[in-house]
Structure 1
Amino acid sequence: MTHRERVLAALNHQEVDRVPVDLGATRDSSIVKEEYLRLKEYLGINGNRPIRLLNRMMQVVEPEEEVLEYFDVDLRGVGPGPPEKGGDKELGENRYQDEWGVVRVKPSGSFYYDLVDSPLSGPLASSDIMNYGWPDPHDPGRIKGLREKVERLRGSTDYAIVLSLPSPFVHTSQYIRGFEDWFIDSVANPRLLGMLCDAILDVTLAMCGDALKEVGELVDIVFCADDLGMQNGPIVSPEIYRRLFKVRHKRYLQFVHDHTSAKLAFHTCGSVWDLLDDLIEIGVEVLNPIQVAAAKMDTIQLKKRYGKHLSFWGAIDTQHILPHGTKEEVEREVKRRIGHLARGGGYILSAVHNIQPDVPPSNIVTMYEWARSCSVSTKS
């Protein structure tokens, strides 16, 4: 099978010659910069290409082709670029304001940027939302060169192509409002929080529309992200999710389905078992990253209950096994997840979220080598 055939067969719940694997096709399934440099050194890859970040806040990189080919990765990612005007504003060393007005700082010795200023935190009125300086969704920089890149991938490679779209509204509303006020609003002021989410959603859907108009018919998977889970359960009760956020996610997901026939993948960290029926109902087809160390995210039960409705993407434990496991434990983890999730198709293997700086490069190599060795006939 070609790489694209393998991915599409898996997502159509068909048997494949081997489980497809991902590294770096999305900003939520890649590797953090410091770890990437260690991995390249371990592999003896000395590429001179400047490191390109998929996400500045998380310091997540777009892996070089030589690395992707080494691991025989089946997918390649694309996405909107930065705006020509109104992008990140540098505020000093390791401090910037993004186009939504959110300020972040990278502390000394840290691997990531931390949120330090939420522009709409504190007392909030509807007029503050209506008069806010929202980003220009139609800035030409967002789609500059996008179609050309996708056409090149489609015409000269056999990889499955993933289009990453802007997050719907949960992430962004939390950053703009501030987490404490956001959680209070979800209970005490849902009307105003809903108004904020709608304002953000209007902007992100306009961004999505431009990207989908350019390449919606050329990509195989559309990927979006809004974290709805924590370690022990959803970030809000299922009742609050259904009352406040579900209809807005449905609007976003339906818009995507209306503008492309590609599979729709949704990223949400944490324990989201209690929301899966809702997500399936509103159009999610592929779930990422399957945070197996979180409550209720048992891969046997996920496949048994939802395997006919969802494909699964991720599931190799980054909280315990990859950073702390032996080679044999990593091998067992890969074999276990393939055995649980890949029967009858429906599984793309990758780490749970981005590979972090505490992971030995040898364990990354073991993960991908073992995934390649686990053919359909060896699943157990």
Structure 2
Amino acid sequence: MSFEITSRKRIIKALNHEEPDEVPVDFGATMNSSIVKEGYINLCEYLDIPAEDPKFINRMMRSVEVKDQLLDYFSVDVRGVFPETTAEIEWIEDDIYRDHWGLEWEKNKYYYELRKSPLAGNISESDIDRYDWPDPKNIEIEDLNKKIDYLRGEYDSALIMSLPSCFIHTSQYLRGFEEWYLDCAANPELLTYLFDRILEINLEISRKILQQAGDRADIIKFADDLGSQRGLQISPEFFRTHIKPRFKRYVDQIREFVDDPKVFIHSCGSIEPILTDFIEIGIDIINPVQISAEEMAPEKLKNEYGDQLSFWGAVDTQKVLRTESPAAVRKEVERLVKILGEGGGFVLGAVHNIQPDVPPENIEAMFLHAKEFSKSFY
């Protein structure tokens, strides 16, 4: 006797490394797997769906909340829980704002770019101490249970809850990228002192989120980019000495509040050299699976790590989605489902947020063909 599996069960089955009835897909369940506002408007116009004024889920990247009509059309299997906090932004001018870290962002054509790094230059630990840090005790979290009650009542989707990014991004913005990299080599004591100031704040904010409703989500997500197109941003040794133990604190806290969670990390670029380390600290899912980066071929990832990691994303946004035809997109979807989807462990989506120059017909081809093809594959 056949029966229809729900989206939530489909996701859970795939993440348990079992083959589902069709490949699960994600569009907009995280701030890194959505679409930039202008691309969203283009897609809605192409599909003759009212775009209205979409809500940002990340202002700096200008990724937006995808409306239900699109999620239903593409048979998306997962929805995001984005905790809203009382950490407000301050508008300095029409296109310039200051976030709760004291970082100023100015809008260019599509995104907001960092104006300056307030902890750049020749600084000491005392300068870090004197910085005007946000007080997590004063940051409150919205009623997440109310939001989850609504999502559980209206949809059969899996739910992914997003925590604050760990500490890499914020430390790079505060210190400045050039000096951040110099510190890795010449002043790791100062840099890790900065890491810890940021980490303690984000641990406290995350604790409030997890205490309130962490056990009601199917997947818990955090982010920090460690890769580039050609390799890691830092050496594997630096990661293992200075970053891995701090990431482990983040993951351990998740497991303190959630029984048997699926832990999801968003980390762009070529991160293959540290995937074993991710497994060791309890990470279950990697995203965005940037297959265009070195050492990130899907065959290699599946063969070497597919029994312990699930792969979330993988459809190339740098070339395939942006420059190829819908037929080529469909062919790439088939290739990825065959490789990454074999035996489960794969949720298909774009590698990071879909950009404004991606033709909407390619987005449509990606999601619709993923469902159509995978039904026959499984």
After TM superposition, the structure 1 = structure 2 runs for residues 109-128 of structure 1, keeping only pairs within 5 Å, are: 110-128=109-127
CA distance in 2, matches of 1:321, 1:47: 25
**Quick check: 1:14 aligned with 2:18?**
yes
Please give the secondary structure, in 2, of the residue aligned with 1:266.
strand
Match of 2:151 among 130, 153, 156: 153
Instruction: Name the aligned partner's letter for residue 287 of structure 2.
Output: N
Instruction: Name the aligned partner's letter for residue 213 of structure 1.
Output: Q
- For residue 223 of structure 1, report the CA deviation from its aligned partner: 0.8
CA distance in 2, matches of 1:343, 1:153: 30
Match of 1:169 among 154, 167, 170: 167
CA distance in 2, matches of 1:166, 1:359: 28
After TM superposition, the structure 1 = structure 2 runs for residues 147-296 of structure 1, keeping only pairs within 5 Å, are: 147-261=145-259, 262-296=261-295
Query: Are the equivalent residues in 2 in contact too, given 1:316–1:334 (CA < 8 A)?
Result: yes
Query: Are the equivalent residues in 1 in contact too, given 2:315–2:350 (CA < 8 A)?
Result: yes
Instruction: Name the aligned partner's letter for residue 182 of structure 2.
Output: I
Q: 2:71 corresponds to which residue?
A: 68
Q: 2:100 corresponds to which residue?
A: 99
Query: Are the equivalent residues in 2 in contact too, given 1:101–1:118 (CA < 8 A)?
Result: no
Q: CA RMSD in A?
A: 1.2
Number of positions where the alignment pairs a residue of Structure 1 with one of Structure 2: 373
Taking structure 1 as the reference length, the TM-score comes to: 0.96
Q: 1:349 corresponds to which residue?
A: 348
Query: Are the equivalent residues in 1 in contact too, given 2:103–2:114 (CA < 8 A)?
Result: yes
**Cα pair distance change 1:231/1:147, threshold 3 Å:** same
Please give the secondary structure, in 1, of the residue aligned with 2:147.
helix
- For residue 376 of structure 1, report the CA deviation from its aligned partner: 5.0
Please give the secondary structure, in 2, of the residue aligned with 1:101.
coil
CA distance in 2, matches of 1:56, 1:68: 21
CA distance in 1, matches of 2:96, 2:324: 35
CA distance in 1, matches of 2:130, 2:83: 26
Taking structure 2 as the reference length, the TM-score comes to: 0.96
Match of 1:25 among 23, 29, 36: 29
Instruction: Name the aligned partner's letter for residue 183 of structure 1.
Output: Y
- For residue 145 of structure 1, report the CA deviation from its aligned partner: 2.7
Q: 2:59 corresponds to which residue?
A: 56
Percent identical among aligned pairs is: 46
Query: Are the equivalent residues in 1 in contact too, given 2:91–2:97 (CA < 8 A)?
Result: yes
- For residue 42 of structure 1, report the CA deviation from its aligned partner: 0.6
Q: 1:81 corresponds to which residue?
A: 84
Please give the secondary structure, in 2, of the residue aligned with 1:117.
coil
Match of 2:7 among 3, 7, 19: 3
Identify which range, 20-29 or 143-152, moves more after superposition. Answer: 143-152
CA distance in 1, matches of 2:344, 2:93: 49
1:314-341 per-residue CA deviation (whole Å, 9 max, x = no partner) reads 0001011000011111011100111110
CA distance in 2, matches of 1:209, 1:145: 14
Instruction: Name the aligned partner's letter for residue 198 of structure 1.
Output: D
> Unaligned 5+ residue runs, structure 2?
none
> Unaligned 5+ residue runs, structure 1?
none
